[in-house]
Amino acid sequence: MKDTLEAVLSLGSNIEPRSEYMSRALAELEKMPNTRLVRASSVIETEGVDVPEEFADLKFLNQVVVMETSLEVHDFSCKMHAIEDALGRVRTVRNGPRTIDIDLIDFGGMRLEEKELTLPHPRAKERDFVISLLAEVKKDSICL
């Protein structure tokens, strides 16, 4: 691919079958046009972060992936959200249960602050699982 940028994503699921949702999301990400998977971290189980008390017992599976893409950032983000929608993601309760959550952590080092998209992801550095899994897949650090 010509003129590619590196996209770093965080995937998470806390609704069963969590492993299946994670696998399906990764498979769909790999099908995105002009995009290829470069590296994927291990999958770990974590406690929810800022989750409403009634959902605190739902553990997450989390993973960080690095992709290369020649898509424009808004197109990439839109396709990511379409994957969430296709896998049954419902946004009714902030930080509530989800079949799949795909967060765009970094996109080629871009700095962006819009209503629908902020880069780098504003809460990534507060999430230990993102930092630890990022260390697995990125030899050079990104500035969060």
CA 113 to chain centre: 18
Cα–Cα distance list, 40 to 6, 17, 106, 137 (Å): 13, 20, 15, 6
CATH architecture of 5-137: 2-Layer Sandwich (3.30)
Question: Per-domain residue ranges for the chain?
Answer: 5-137
d(CA 139, CA 125): 17
d(CA 118, CA 144): 11
pLDDT at residue 66, rounded to an integer: 96
pLDDT at residue 128, rounded to an integer: 82
pLDDT above 90: percentage of residues in the chain: 65
What global pTM score does this model have? 0.91
Model pLDDT for residues 91-128, shown as the tens digit of each residue: 877 778 999 999 999 999 999 899 889 898 878 887 88
Model pLDDT for residues 6-23, shown as the tens digit of each residue: 999 999 999 999 999 999
Q: In this structure, which amino acid lies at residue 133?
A: L
Kindly tell me if the per-residue pLDDT of 38 is higher than 80. Answer: yes
d(CA 92, CA 143): 31
**Distance between start and end Cα atoms, the chain:** 26
DSSP-assigned states of every residue in 86-125: HTT---SSTT---S-EEEEEEETT--EE-SS-EES-TTGG
